[in-house]
Amino acid sequence: MKLLFSMFVSIFCGLLLYVPESFARQQIQIVGSSTVYPFTTVVAEKHGKKGWKTPIVESTGTGGGMKLFCAGLGTKHPDFTNASRAIKKSEIELCKSNGVNGIIEVIVGNDGIVFAQKAGQKKWNLTKKQLFLAMAEHGPKPKYWNEIDSSLPKKKIAIMAPPPTSGTRDAWDALVMNKGCKEAGLYKKLGKKKCHSFREDGPVEEAGENDTLIVKRLDKDPNLFGIFGFSFLDQNRDLIQSVLIEGVEVSLESIQSYEYPIARPLFFYAKKEHFKYIPGMTEFMAEYTSEAAMGEYGYLADQGLVPLEYKTLEEVRYNVKNLVAINDF
C-alpha cells in the first residue's frame, strides 16, 4: 500500500511540475543584428543584475537572426532576434510555416547609417549618387574618387561594406543604392536587383558582422571607408569620423528628425509562444522599454541609440505590456 501511495505521489508531482521538454530552458537566448547588439547586451546585463540569468546575446546579422528565430519553437530556437530593419513578409511566412505565429515587434529607437573614415582628416561630403557610382557592380567602376567627381580627392576607392545577411546592408540598398541608381539615370536599365549589387573587383569589401573590427581597420588606414550604425561612431569618436551625406552631418538630432538621409528605425522581435515557458521574458521586455532604458535620457541613449518620439514610445510600451503580435493588428 505504501508503495502504491508513493508511486501515486511521484506521478502526481511529476504532472504538476511537467514542462514540455522543448521548453525546459531557463535562460533567454537572443540573436540578430550587430547594430542592435550593443543595446541589447546592455539591457541583458541590467536584467541579469535583477536576479535573472543574464540572457545570451549573439551577433548573427539581421538575416541570419531571422532564419534562426523563425526556425521553430522550443529550447533549440531563440526567444528574441535583433533587427536593423523591419521583418520581411517572406520571414513572417517562414515563421508561420514553423509554428511561430506570435511575433511581437518592438521598435527600439532610431539609427543613422554612417559612412566613416579615420578621425583627424578633412571631412568629406558625398551624395547618394556618388556613393552608388563608387560601389556599383553595374556602374562605371572608377578606381579613384575624383573619377566620379573632380571635386573629390584623387584617392583610391576602398570601402568596407556590410554583407548580404546584414540588415544594415538591406537599409543601405534601399536608402542609398536604390536612390543613387535612379539619380544616375540607370534604374530603368538595370532594375532593382542590379542596382543593389556591390562591386566584386576589389574596391568594395564585404566586412562581415563585426563592426568593431571595421572601426579598428579604419583607424589604421586613412584611405579606407566603412559602413555601420551610428552607435559605433558615437562610441569611437577618438578613432573615426563621419562623412557628410547630402551636406548633412549625422547626429542624434538629424537622425531623430530624419533630416539625415540615411536614418532608419531599429527593432527587436519576441516569440509570444515562449513567454509561458522561458523565465524572465516579460521582465526583460519591460526593462528594455522602460524610461530608464529607452527614455530620452536613458542609458541606451548613452550608448548612442537615438530615442523614439514620445507617442511612438507609448505605442511600443502598450504592445509590449499586452503582448500584441504583429498579426493581431
Each residue's pLDDT tens digit, 252-274: 999 999 999 999 999 999 999 99
Residue 206's φ and ψ, nearest 5 degrees, are -75, 120
Distances (CA, A) of 291 to 286, 295, 300, 326: 10, 4, 10, 23
Which pLDDT score is estimated for 328?
A: 65
Range 83-100 average pLDDT? 96
Crossing angle of helices 89-97 and 62-69, rounded to 10°: 30
| pLDDT band at residue 25 under the 50/70/90 scheme | confident
Which pLDDT score is estimated for 327?
A: 74
Each residue's pLDDT tens digit, 211-230: 888 999 999 999 999 999 99
Positions of E strands within 79-169: 80-83, 103-118, 125-126, 159-161
Rounded CA gap, 282 and 80, in Å?
12
Residue 113's φ and ψ, nearest 5 degrees, are -80, 125
Each residue's pLDDT tens digit, 185-198: 999 999 999 999 99
Please identify which residue in the block is written with the cell numbers 521598435.
Answer: 107
CATH fold for domain 27-110+264-328: D-Maltodextrin-Binding Protein; domain 2 (3.40.190)
Domain boundaries for CATH 3.40.190.10 within the chain: 27-110+264-328, 111-263
Closest CA to 166 of 214, 133, 129: 214
| pLDDT band at residue 56 under the 50/70/90 scheme | very high
Whether the pLDDT of residue 12 is over 80: the answer is: no
**Average pLDDT of the chain, as a whole number:** 91
Q: What is the CATH number of domain 111-263?
A: 3.40.190.10
pTM: 0.83
- Report yes or no: 32 and 65 within 8 Å, Cβ to Cβ: yes
Rounded CA gap, 52 and 23, in Å?
17
Distances (CA, A) of 278 to 15, 26, 39, 326: 18, 6, 21, 21
Residue 186 Cα to chain centre, angstroms: 29
Residue 283 Cα to chain centre, angstroms: 22
Range 137-144 average pLDDT? 97
